[in-house]
Amino acid sequence: MVKCIYLLRSSEEESYGSFGARMRELGETLVSHPRVEALKYLVTEEAPPKLSIIPFRSGRLAAFSLYQQGRSTVPELQDRAELRGIYLADEAFPVKYDKNWSNGEPTPGICLLTLFRRKPGLDYEHFLHRWHNGHTPLSLRLHPLWHYCRNVLEEKLHPESEHWDGLVDEYFKTRSALLNPYRFFGNSPLFPYHMLEVYKDVKGFLDYKSTETYLATEYHLK
């Protein structure tokens, strides 16, 4: 079994509600697919806060994670007009929730979805080392993470896929744990220092200007 991530985008003209409903319908059609053993998706269902220390994007985006038999892509997703990429993903869980809610229900709390590329000129192995052995421990130390799914996008499975090296979905039990800078950066009076610490760290291994962050909701369907 392999994990494939399918990235879909819609236009700014479509409402978040309409996009979310269409992605839900799409996900439900995949549940009975014979090669799909497990399925979840992340989707932007609401506009991000207008004022936030996190540079949220306002686009309509969905990321379907299919745990499937073989690397062959699923036509129901591959042929969508909204498709922007298909990737073979190597996932890891530095911290993991205990799922105790039913499939189809939104994952409790709030999700920060981030897409990024490595810093130009940085060796790929050094990029992975900085990400996994530097940034991940820093995130676990400072942020009140409830669940962290780390995806290395190892290979493009569609020729017109956008170029991304990583996709991470980070989960927080409450909105304030993510959106309140004091709580997000260590729950400490030292949070301005922690903000600078994180900024310097990500600038060291990511192409910071091209990084995209979204406020998302997760659904497990299978």
pLDDT per position as a tens digit, 136-168: 999 999 999 999 999 999 999 999 999 999 999
Number of H helices and E strands in the chain, helices first, is 7, 8
Q: What is the pLDDT of residues 35-51, one digit of tens each?
A: 999 999 999 999 999 99
Please say whether the beta carbons of 202 and 44 come within 8 A: no
In the structure, what pLDDT confidence band is assigned to residue 94 with cuts at 50, 70 and 90?
A: very high
* 2-220 CATH choice from 3.30.70.20, 3.20.20.70, 3.30.70.100, 1.10.101.10: 3.30.70.100
Whether the predicted pLDDT of 71 surpasses 90: no
3-state secondary structure of 19: helix
Q: Taking 90 as the threshold, does the pLDDT of residue 56 lie above it? A: yes
Q: In whole angstroms, what is the distance from residue 40 CA to residue 136 CA?
A: 23
pLDDT the model gives residue 178: 97
Q: Is the pLDDT of residue 115 over 90?
A: yes
Q: Which of 145, 142, 161 is nearest to 153 (CA)?
A: 161
CB crowding 155-172: b at 16 or more within 10 Å, else e? eebbeebeebbbbbbbbb
Question: Which residue, chain included where needed, has tokens 């839900």?
Answer: 24
Mean pLDDT throughout 58-68? Answer: 97
The model's pTM is 0.95
pLDDT tier, 215 (very low <50, low <70, confident <90, very high otherwise): very high
Confidence of residue 181 (pLDDT cuts 50, 70, 90): very high
Distance between CA atoms of residues 112 and 151, nearest Å: 14
